[in-house]
Chains A and B, each alone.
Chain A
Amino acid sequence: MTTAEAGPKRRTGVPGFLTAHGWRVVVGLALVALVLYPVVSDNLYYQNMIILSLLLAIMGSGWNIISGFTGYVSLGQSAFLGIGAYTTALFAVKVFEGASPFWFIPISAVVAGIFAAVVGSVLTRTRGHAFVILTIAFLFVMQIVTLNWSALTNGNHGLSLPLPLWNIDYQNWPFYYSLLGLMLLSVAMSWWIRRTKLGMGLIAIREDESKAASVGVNTSVYKVLSFVASAVFIGAAGGLYAYYLTFIDPRGMFDIVVSVQVALAVLLGGRGTILGPVLGAFILEPLNEITNNEFSGGNERLIFFGGLLALVVLFLPRGVIPSVGELWARWHGAGKAALVGARIDRPAAVREADAKPEPAHGTGRQLLEVRGVERSFGGLRALDGCTLEVEEGAITALIGPNGSGKTTLFNIIDGTMKSDSGEIRFDGAPIDGLPPWERAHRGIGRTFQITRLFREMTVLENVVAPLRTFSWRQLAADAVSGAEAQRAQELLDFVGMRAFAGQRAAALSYGQQKLVELAQILMLDPRLIMLDEPAGGINPTLVDHIVEMIRELNRQGKTFLIVEHNMPMVLRLCDPVLVLARGSCISRGTPAEIQKDERVLDAYLGEHYVAEQQAGVR
């Protein structure tokens, strides 16, 4: 499969005018230059500039994990700089007076990590705009507490650290090389995270958080971990920074402008890339120094930084590295546009199995039981005492007029939404209190009415993303193992989408996305497959393919619950059929029974129609 291999290579986000090897050489040379610089030059001005650049690069790498990978913009990241700085300072000044502050750098990292874990476990319960506001609030709360808790922190007057005692010949080398080491560590951590299950889950959260949860990603743990990972090296850097400055105060350490500079550096270099934050820091910090020297006061710097940030947000939202790569690709026509229009293969399963339609038979056991579920949105009752069962081994249809509560019921069954009251049992056990990912682990897989794939991932990555269990060890496993890739290829083969494995999901047509979404939830190996309008908005041939695939999966033992408006498909495929109207299940029966049921006609067409029919009026 040439396409499957070509895809990911194009997506590394590295500009294509050098080979991967070429880039390694460039990065290696830059690193050697950084290592040698203090030895060959004794210019303290430039040493200071590099030290501050390294500091910004470490902070940027951290910020990039929570805001670039996970997609949660934080403006509170400089709080961890302050926490680290005060930890080291307090240990060096109050606890072990006379000891070298270097000893306390690891403690700073740990304390920052603990703060991040505690604060993060609370903050990451929110989404979208709430998170960014909370991070700002967190930063200012830290600043105010540090200011007011004078007994510990000396408040407004700040803390003085011991002066460095080493031989003056070594200049600032200890600071320089410690920060360089920290930066390498934090970049290595970013690189490592990006290629593990953890990293893949973070990207999935960024692309579509509730979808990630519904395919088994434990989003709570992932988010908290990414917040902790984004904080520890900033904490350590804060300790070094405090010692470097030898004086810290609350306003300088818990400074929101620093947070903004960090965001700016990463946006400039390339959000979500590994080296973007470093590149951005080494562009921004020298600019900072230049403006410092060119102008006297802080006002010009504010205008400069604010203006630059506005320009980057408006005109370079993806940053230097991805934008340059994209431009290069465009000039050199390195796209694979043609393939997106390629023909979908006839599903493999259908080619193999003799597609003889036979009615599915349930085992008589109830796999899913919904009891008296209610759910309101403001004044609207979407579900009003809904009770129904899904028999194991059957293909059950759920039909009903628009607004009857079908999708809401799906959302409540898979845990995307909470019910107001009522009970849901899966395989005999209540699942109401479980988060979506646990329901996925137990064997519930669902597709969405409007397809929801992780748009920036490839088709293959999309299919590999679902997780059937959660374990701490799994987090560190390779994002895509060989066995998983193999299984994903098989599933893509099954739905006829193998040729598209290397494509970005966003490039696919709607019908193709539906097929990939089906393959994606099959990766969960679910016992109950819930399809929300599988035939909606796709052409009749593809509908036939989907019907055949459902039959084949059912023969393999999968239970289905299908919401669908395409009546011919429902009548030919499903038995029993459940009818939902005004939030409750009003009828259940074979397709033939449902077609004759007056309550169903009434629900769909209204009383007048039924009355007219009975009166013989056309």
Chain B
Amino acid sequence: MTQFVQALILGLMIGGVYALLASGLTLIFGVMDVINVAQGALIILSAFITWALWKEMGIDPLLGALITTPAMFVIGWVIYRLTIQWISGRPASTSVLLTFALALVLEGIMGLVWSTTYHSSTPGYVDESFRAGGFYFPKAQLFGCAMAIGVLAALYMMLTRTWLGRAIRAVSENVSSARLVGVNARKVAALTFAIGVATTGAGGSIASVLYPFLPGSHYQWISRLLGIIVLGGMGSLPGALVGALVLGVAETMTVTYISPRWATMVPYAVIMVVLLARPQGIMGAKLREDVVV
């Protein structure tokens, strides 16, 4: 029982971090029908930047998010302007091919700059834990999770309380109607993509502490994130939170009770089961598709 609760605690904390990482992917898909497969590579990029800042300048990896978030925002905006904006209106599978291409380029660049060996940000508290009620709360996980939830809350407020957020939601509902009421859909799409990529800033900084990473780790991340947003309902932010918690717990439970070797299988199993049994996911609504928008 203790083992179960401990696994649950760890799973939920990891799930909080996953939620932040998946939020950008689901936001981008919801607004522009783009499956950004490069999101995993962007997380690793942010992790490398965090690592470099920590190694060279001694900046705490979690505080590094203050630098990586704006940096990733700019990178996202540039990527959108250079590539994504030219495929708007083409099927989602085109976006998969294009962003996969970007992921490969990023993987190659990171390999050249930082080499293809495992890296890890290890600040002093990484091996320390709080103890409460007989359970361990590893400091890195706890700080990471708290920070992730803070950033997610800020993102949620931005989407629900600001004019930009309303415009983003309008475009995600119906592009042509949003245009008609005066929303500059292209600008909104660029900002959404940049914001979506900016979430990998804080997310990658946290991930650099929690997991060792190398350029090729992005496959693992993107499959995990796809599993999460498929489970939660693609395009749904609350869905991503629920999906992330479920996946985090499912992974720790697999590690605890089956074998770490099969933990990598969890996201794929989730993807297959959900897409086949309930394609709209947990929080996704099934809307009519016959009406031309």
Contact = CB atoms under 8 A, between A and B. Distances in A.
Interface of A: 72-73, 75, 122, 125-126, 128-134, 136-138, 140-141, 144-145, 147-148, 210, 256-257, 260, 263, 267, 297-310, 313-314, 317, 377-378, 382, 407-408, 411, 416-417, 450
B279 A305 contact: no
Interface string B189-220: 00000000000000000000000000100010
B150 interface: no
Q: In this complex, which of A132, A141, A260, A298 has the most chain B Cβ atoms within 10 angstroms of its Cβ?
A: A132
Nearest to A155: B261
Nearest to A315: B86
A210 B290 CA distance: 9
B35 A126 contact: no
Given A129-B35, A378-B285, A450-B292, A144 B102 contact: no
| 4 interchain residue pairs of minimum CB distance | A306-B104, A302-B108, A73-B93, A303-B108
Nearest to B288: A377
Contact of A407 (B96, B279, B290): B290
Interface of B: 29, 33, 35, 83, 86-87, 90-94, 96-98, 100-109, 111-112, 116, 215, 219, 223, 226, 230, 234, 261-262, 264-265, 267-269, 271-272, 275-276, 279, 285-288, 290, 292
B101 A309 contact: yes
Q: Is the interface of B mostly helix, strand, loop or mixed?
A: helix
Contacts of B264: 144
Listed residue (A72, A126, A267, A298) with the most chain B CB atoms within 10 angstroms of its CB: A298
Contacts of B262: 144, 148
A309 B97 contact: yes
A515 B288 CA distance: 27
Contacts of A128: 91-93
Given A299-B111, A303-B105, A313 B97 contact: yes
Given A132-B93, A141-B265, A302-B108, A313 B275 contact: no
A208 to B, nearest CB: 11
Contacts of A450: 292
B290 A377 contact: no
Contacts, number: 149
Nearest to B280: A130
B108 A300 contact: yes
A310 B272 CA distance: 28
B105 A310 contact: yes
A307 B105 contact: yes
B36 to A, nearest CB: 12
Nearest to B41: A306
B97 A299 contact: no
A302 B105 contact: yes
A594 B43 CA distance: 64
A374 to B, nearest CB: 15
Given A132-B93, A133-B226, A301-B108, A122 B268 contact: no
Contact of A314 (B87, B100, B265): B87
A413 to B, nearest CB: 13
A75 B279 contact: no
A378 B98 CA distance: 33
Contact of A306 (B108, B219, B272): B108
27 contacts: A129-B92, A132-B93, A133-B96, A133-B226, A137-B268, A138-B272, A140-B268, A141-B272, A144-B265, A260-B97, A267-B97, A297-B112, A299-B107, A299-B112, A302-B104, A302-B105, A302-B108, A306-B101, A306-B104, A308-B101, A309-B100, A309-B101, A309-B104, A313-B98, A378-B285, A417-B290, A450-B292
Nearest to B35: A129
Given A305-B104, A314-B83, A299 B116 contact: yes
